Amino acid sequence: MTEGGPFTGRLLPGEHIVWSGRPATGLLFTPRDAFLVPFSLLWCGFVIFWIIGVLASGGGPFALVGVAFLAFGLFFSAGRFALDATLRGNTTYALTDRRILISRTGPFSSFKALTLDRLPEAEISERSDGRGTVRFGQQQSLMGFGQPGLSIWTPALDPTPQFLAIADARKVFDLVQQAVGRDR
């Protein structure tokens, strides 16, 4: 693998990249969307019905409240997918001989480094085409109580470190397990 790239200046002395990759681009559905998509569409439908009712009864100013709720619903119906795709497009992953590295540039930029000797449990979920997610720690609950911001709705903002929607997920998972085994 080529050393550095988006991780130039982030590698420790003597540290080498074993694997690097990027998440899938474009529209990404997760198992949570089986609940979230219908819920957000119902939300929008109810709000539209409510706005029409308010306007029909002459309660004009209350329609503005409905417009705010509609904007919220439209974001969760469609906008969150665009935000997630943008964030994934700015994300790069690396496994080194010492750490897990996750770098995101642009909006919500961040850098995470997990040392292999302190790595929490690793979990893999994969599709039949080999693409999948390697997660380092427990996935947050669907309700997301106590979790910050948009992470429940936007997989790329999930606070649990992960290699999201990567190609050859099983191969990467095995490389992580081998690296952890060497480190201990």
| Model pTM above 0.75 | yes
Q: Mean pLDDT for the chain?
A: 87
Confidence of residue 3 (pLDDT cuts 50, 70, 90): low
For the cut 90, the answer to whether the pLDDT of residue 150 exceeds it is no
Q: What digits encode the pLDDT tens for the residues 106-132?
A: 888 899 999 999 888 899 999 999 999
Q: Which of 31, 33, 30, 3 is nearest to 16 (CA)?
A: 3
Cα dihedral 59, 60, 64, 70 in deg (nearest 10) = 70
Confidence of residue 1 (pLDDT cuts 50, 70, 90): very low
Cα dihedral 84, 87, 88, 91 in deg (nearest 10) = -160
